[in-house]
Chain A
Amino acid sequence: MCYHSALMMAVDRIEELREEALSAVASVGSTSDLESVRVRYLGWNNCSAELTEIKKGIRDLSPEERREVGGAANKATKEIETALAERREESVAVAEREKRLSSEAVDVTLPGVPYPKGSLHPSLRVIDEVVDFFVGLGYRVAEGPEVETDYYNFTALNIPPGHPARGMQDTFFLDEGLVLRTHTSPVQIRTMLSQEPPVYVVCPGRTYRRDSDPTHTPMFNQIEGLAVDKGLTLGHLKGTLAAMARHVFGEDVSLRLRPSYFQFTEPSVEMDVSCFVCGGSDPNCKVCRGAGWIEMGGAGMVDPAVLEEVDYDPEEYTGFAFGFGPDRMAMVKYGVPDLRLFFEGDLRFLQQF
Chain B
Amino acid sequence: MRVPLNWLRDYVDFDLSVEELVELFSLRSQEVDGVERLGVLEGEVVVGEVVEFGQHPNADRLNVAKVDLGGQEVQIVAGAPNPYPGARVPVVLPGSTLADGRKLKKAKLRGLESYGMMMSERELGISNDHGGILLLEGDYEVGRPVSDYFPAGETVLELDVNPNRPDLWGMIGVARELAAILKTAFRVPEPRFEPTGEPTDDYTLRVEAEDLCPRYDLRRVSGIRPAGERAPLEMRRRVHAAGMRPVNAIVDATNYVMLETGQPIHAFDAREVRGGIVVRRAHPGEKMTLLDGTTRQLDEEMLVIADQERGLVIAGVMGAEDAEVGDETSDVLIEVATFAGRNIMETSQRLGLRTDASGRFERGLDPNMVSYAMDRVVGLLAEHPGGQPAPATLSHYPEPARPWEVPLRLSRAELLLGMPVEEDEAAERLELLGCEVRQEDGRLFATVPTFRRDLEREADLIEEVGRLVGLENVPERLPGVPLPGGLSPAQRKLRRLRHLLADLGLAEAVTYPFGPDRWNRDLALQNGDAGEEPLKLRNPLSAEATNLRTTLLPGLLDAAARNRSFGARGGAVFEVGHVFESSEQPEGMREYALRFRLAGETGLDAEVPTDLLTGVTEKGKVAGLLAGTIYPPGWNVPAFAAGFFEAKGIVERLVPGAIFEPRPRPFLHPGRAAAVLSGGVEAGWVGELHPDAVEKFGLEGWPVAAFELDLEVTEPDPAPRFAPFYNVPPVSRDLAVVVGEEVRVGDMLEVVSSLGSPILADVRVFDVYEGSQVPTGKKSVALNFTFRAEETLNDAVVKEDLDRISERLREVFDAEVRSS
Contacts and interface: CB of A to CB of B under 8 A. Distances in A.
A214 interface: no
Interface string A124-168: 100010010011011111000111011110011000011111011
B478 A240 contact: yes
Contacts of A177: 593-594, 596-598
Given A301-B416, A347-B563, A149 B513 contact: no
Contact of B483 (A120, A123, A198): A198
A261 B165 contact: yes
A200 B475 contact: no
A177 B164 CA distance: 25
Interface stretch (B186-194, B253-261, B573-581): B573-581
A218 interface: yes
A350 B615 CA distance: 35
Q: Is the interface of B mostly helix, strand, loop or mixed?
A: mixed
A113 B636 contact: yes
A269 interface: yes
B284 interface: no
Contacts, number: 286
Given A121-B508, A174-B537, A146 B558 contact: no
B476 A242 contact: yes
Interface in A327-352: 342-348, 350-351
Interface stretch (A31-39, A53-61, A97-105, A224-232): A224-232
B583 to A, nearest CB: 11
Nearest to B161: A261
B512 A266 contact: no
Interface stretch (B94-102, B219-227, B539-547, B763-771): B539-547
Nearest to B585: A175
A301 B566 contact: no
A200 B483 contact: yes
Given A114-B634, A174-B535, A235-B476, A345 B416 contact: no
B364 to A, nearest CB: 8
B599 interface: yes
B478 A259 contact: no
A238 B495 CA distance: 29
Interface in B132-188: 162-165
A113 B39 CA distance: 66
A229 B479 contact: yes
B793 interface: no
B362 A164 contact: yes
Contacts of A347: 507, 563, 568, 571, 573
Contact of A234 (B349, B416, B508, B631): B416
A176 interface: yes
A267 B479 contact: no
Contacts of A257: 471-472, 474
Interface in A224-271: 227, 229, 231-236, 238-240, 242-243, 255-261, 266-270
B503 A348 contact: no
Interface residue tally of chain A, by bracket? 35 or more
A173 B499 CA distance: 34
Contact of A261 (B28, B163, B556, B593): B163
Contacts of A118: 501-508, 572
Contacts of B267: none
Contact of B510 (A266, A343, A351): A343
A181 to B, nearest CB: 11
Interface in A177-205: 177-178, 180, 198, 200
Contacts of B504: 116, 118
B102 to A, nearest CB: 23
B466 interface: yes
A45 interface: no
B509 A121 contact: yes
B52 to A, nearest CB: 47
B498 interface: yes
B486 A268 contact: no
A259 B477 contact: no
B355 to A, nearest CB: 15
B463 A267 contact: yes
A77 interface: no
Contacts of A231: 415
A221 B576 CA distance: 14
Given A113-B637, A135-B487, A151-B597, A267 B417 contact: yes
A44 interface: no
A279 interface: no
A173 B539 contact: yes
B776 interface: no
B528 interface: no
A111 B600 CA distance: 61
Contact of A138 (B29, B483, B491): B483
Contacts of B536: 174
B573 A345 contact: yes
Contacts of B472: 256-257
Interface in B504-540: 504-514, 535-540
Interface of A: 110-111, 113-121, 123-124, 128, 131, 134-135, 137-141, 145-147, 149-152, 155-156, 161-165, 167-168, 172-178, 180, 198, 200, 206, 210, 212, 218-219, 221, 227, 229, 231-236, 238-240, 242-243, 255-261, 266-270, 301, 303-304, 318, 342-348, 350-351
Interface of B: 26-31, 162-165, 341-342, 345-346, 349, 362-364, 415-419, 457, 459-460, 462-463, 466-467, 471-472, 474-479, 481-488, 491, 495, 498-499, 501-514, 535-541, 545, 548, 555-556, 558-560, 562-563, 566, 568, 571-573, 577-578, 580, 593-594, 596-600, 614-616, 618, 631, 634-637, 640
14 contacts: A146-B513, A200-B481, A206-B513, A235-B476, A239-B479, A240-B478, A259-B471, A261-B162, A261-B164, A343-B512, A346-B566, A347-B563, A347-B571, A351-B507
Q: Which 9 pairs show the lowest CB-CB distances between chains A and B?
A: A116-B505, A345-B559, A235-B418, A177-B597, A233-B418, A138-B481, A261-B162, A267-B463, A118-B502
